[in-house]
Amino acid sequence: MQGRLALFDLDNTLLAGDSDHGWGQFMVAQGLVDGANYGAKNDAFYQDYLAGDLDMVAYAEFALTPLAQYSATELKTIHQKFMQTTVIPMIAPKTQALLKKHRDAGDVLVIVTATSDFITAPIAEYLAIPHLIATPTECVDGRYTGKLSGAPCFKAGKIDKLNAWMALNGYNIEGACFYSDSHNDLPLLALVDEPIVVDPDPKLEAHALANGWQVMSLR
């Protein structure tokens, strides 16, 4: 018998920060992109995300475009440095204990994130979370093109991606829990049997309190 699904948003949930925005800041800090111009656009997109107004396709292609100039080997080295300098220090203090609790219960752990699979696959591996549903990046002949290879895993799109993954892997949503910080995740939070709100933004916190959802902190 398969365990129930324990679904996790990544940024500002398992991480006490945003890996997507952090990637842009890292690229600027490392001199891999035009600092002033790229940094300002990265910050503007992040504000759109917080407001719930993000054009996810436009943002993803902005974030992914610099990848096209590097080989897979170069990107692996760059990402390893990103993990050490930016992501690992961002892991929320209580994240590992929460993940252990779900592993011990026999649950199936899945990250469901709007951030690209390029950025998040090594993070999922580091956290030992075996399943990742993310915004898909296009890779041709071993090189990233800077484009998406499918619809973003964002807002109601998370449900579409999750449904496709469950159908492919033989899981169902019954009894599932989902942890998130963001009002952008209200569609999936409303779908699961156990919505759990983590260090929420004000809009999500108000919705959670009005609906009797569990609110917790990993920080």
DSSP notation for the chain: -PPPEEEE-IIIIIBSS-HHHHHHHHHHHTTSS-HHHHHHHHHHHHHHHHHT---HHHHHHHHHGGGGGS-HHHHHHHHHHHIIIIIGGGB-TTHHHHHHHHHHTT-EEEEEEEEEHHHHHHHHHHTT--EEEEEPEEEETTEEEEEESS----TTHHHHHHHHHHHHHT---TT-EEEES-GGGHHHHHHSSEEEEES--HHHHHHHHHHT-EEE---
What is the pLDDT at residue 115? 95
Residues spanned by the domain of 129: 5-216
What is the pLDDT at residue 1? 52
CA angle 38, 142, 117 (to 5 degrees): 55
pTM: 0.96
**CA-to-CA dists, residue 182 to 89, 175, 189, 202, 205, angstroms:** 21, 21, 10, 9, 9
Contact predicate 181/12, CB 8 Å: yes
Please state the separation of Cα 129 from the chain's center in Å: 12
Catalytic residues: 9, 11
pLDDT digits (tens), the chain, 219 positions? 578 999 999 999 999 999 999 999 999 999 999 888 999 999 999 999 999 999 999 998 899 999 999 999 999 999 999 999 999 999 999 999 999 999 999 999 999 999 999 999 999 999 999 999 999 999 999 899 999 999 999 999 999 999 999 999 999 999 999 999 999 999 999 999 999 999 999 999 999 999 999 999 999
Total number of domains constituting the chain: 1
What is the pLDDT at residue 144? 94
State the first-to-last Cα distance of the chain, in angstroms, to the nearest integer.
34
Contact predicate 95/127, CB 8 Å: yes
Contact predicate 108/131, CB 8 Å: yes
For residue 25, give the CATH number of its domain.
3.40.50.1000
